[in-house]
Structure 1
Amino acid sequence: MSAMDRTFEEMIAQAEAVDVSGWDFSWLDGRATEERPPWGYQRQMGERIGRAHLHLDIQTGGGEVLAGVPQRASGAMVATEGWPPNIEVAQANLREKGVVIVADEDEPPLPFADNAFDLVTSRHPVMAHWREIARVLAPGGTYFSQHIGPDSGHEVYEWFLGPKPTGKGFREPALARAEAAKNGLEVVDLQEAELKMEFFDIGAMVYFLRKVIWFVPDFSVEKYRDDLLRMHEHIEREGSFVAYSRRFLIEARKSGG
């Protein structure tokens, strides 16, 4: 039975029942797509890990991105995560790589000494605490990260919550550059990309909103059933629901070393 043959209620029920812990989106294969940024974050992250001695990955999620990197640092590798279900997944995914998982609620301060790491990475941090990143970086150390860009996926937000002003958030690349500089880091690379997202059935959207909770923070099927039905009808009519994610790659170095 194809997704198009399944009823609205069946797709909703299936998406509500599936486990959304970790940061693996393979359940969406064939049901949703998102263009990948052109710079290849995981590959570049691996290259830098291979040259590092002490490496910290902040907000590692379920550790899937780090686990998929073939390289490892010559010394210790540490990752932080704040959501308990993700911590268990990360421990399982990163055990073989020898990464120490530290439970951290992502509020300053980071539970590490000053000048501790020569590489700090983070893919899609909820918030980049620049003062703490700079503090735990060793002189000459590098912060390498792919951030969520401004107004990313606002089409999804607006479908459920209505119009909101764009261009006035805290995710602008220029703001990240300024914050890095204010905390003594030199930005050596900054790239931006806009990427097409498509959802081919309503179950994919329910799964996505359960997993990526900041799009519609109070999401539940019960609360938003009318909006979901309206989107289901849109997908049936148009073939998909389209939104655009925005990402930026930033690399910054601490002076000295």
Structure 2
Amino acid sequence: MCAMDRTFEELIAEADAVDVSGWDFSWLDGRAAEERPPWGYQRQLGERVGAAHLHLDIQTGGGEVLAGVPQRASGATVATEGWPPNIAISQQNLRDKGVVIVFDEDEPPLPFADNTFDLVTSRHPVMAHWREIARVLAPGGTYFSQHIGPDSGHEVYEWFLGPKPTGKSFREPALARQEAEKNGLEIVGLEEAELKMEFFDIGAMVYFLRKVIWFVPDFTVEKYRDDLLRMHEHMEREGSFVAYSRRFLIEARKPGA
């Protein structure tokens, strides 16, 4: 049965019961869509991993992005993750790739020696700890990452939580540049993109908010039932709910041989 043929209660009940562990969004296929950044992060990641000797992937999530990269570092790849449900998933996804998973709660310091890795990567880090990134990079090493940009998807949280000032967050690309340079790194590249997000049924939104918990940190179906019903009616009337995500790609180098 098509999602749009089901009632509000059926859609939210289904989405409230489904497993949301890991970082695989395939459950949303056909129910939500998001434009991809133009730079092709996973492809570029593979190119850099293939040229690296020792590689560290920070906040790997369920390891889905790294698992999709065919190249491997010539020495070793280590990945960190701090959310317990993702540890088992990342081990399952990366074990056959020879990647070592290290539990790390994403609070400094990183559990590695100074000047260790010639490549450090991260896709959508919750927080980039620039001092630690610079510390574990070997001289001449590179940090390559796709970050979540400022006010990303603010249309979603404003629907549930009300208006929020924009343009003053810790996710500004200029702030990332400033912090990287303050910690001795040289910016090699910095690109930005605004990308359309579209949700086609209310179940997709419930799943999204249960999985991406920082949009509405106290989200439950029961607490926000009235807002969900209002959004469901909006989707039926307009065909979808539209928001805009923001991403930036940053590459920084540690000076040295």
Q: TM-score, normalised by structure 2?
A: 1.00
Q: Secondary structure at the match of 2:45?
A: helix
| Map 1:91-110 → 2, pairs under 5 A | 91-110=91-110
Question: Structure 1 runs of 4+ off > 2 angstroms?
Answer: none
Aligned to 2:222: 222
Which residue of 2 is the match for residue 237 of structure 1?
237
CA distance in 2 between partners of 1:41 and 1:118 (Å):
18
Residue 152 of structure 1 corresponds to 152
- Equivalent in the alignment of 1:7: 7
Following the alignment from structure 2 to structure 1, what is the Cα–Cα distance between the partners of residues 169 and 157? Answer: 14
What is the Cα deviation at residue 245 of structure 1? 0.0
Q: Which amino acid in structure 2 is aligned with residue 98 of structure 1?
A: G
Find the counterpart in structure 2 of residue 193 from structure 1.
Answer: 193
- Give the corresponding residue for 2:74: 74
Pairs aligned (count): 257
Q: What's the C-alpha RMSD, in Å, of the aligned pairs? A: 0.4
Q: Secondary structure at the match of 2:141?
A: strand
Gaps of 5+ in 1: none
How much has 1:203 moved relative to structure 2? 0.3
- Partner of 2:3, secondary structure, is coil
| Percent identical | 90
Corresponding position of 2:129: 129
Question: Using the alignment, how far apart are the partners of 1:208 and 1:220 within structure 2?
Answer: 12
Give distance in 2, aligned partners of 1:242 and 1:77: 38
Looking at structure 2, the residues matched to 223 and 129 of structure 1 have their Cα atoms a distance apart, in angstroms, of: 34
- Corresponding residue for 2:29? 29
Give, in angstroms, the shift of residue 58 of structure 1: 0.2
C-alpha displacement at 1:39, in angstroms?
Answer: 0.1
Measured in 1, the distance between the counterparts of 2:9 and 2:61 equals 30
* Cα separation, 1, equivalents of 2:148 and 2:102: 23
Q: Could you tell me how far apart the structure 2 residues matched to 1:199 and 1:83 are?
A: 26
Secondary structure at the residue paired with 1:96? helix
CA distance in 1, matches of 2:3, 2:19: 19
Query: How far 1:11 sits from its partner (Å)?
Result: 0.7
CA distances 1:177-208 after superposition (whole Å, capped 9, x unpaired): 00000000001100000000000000000000
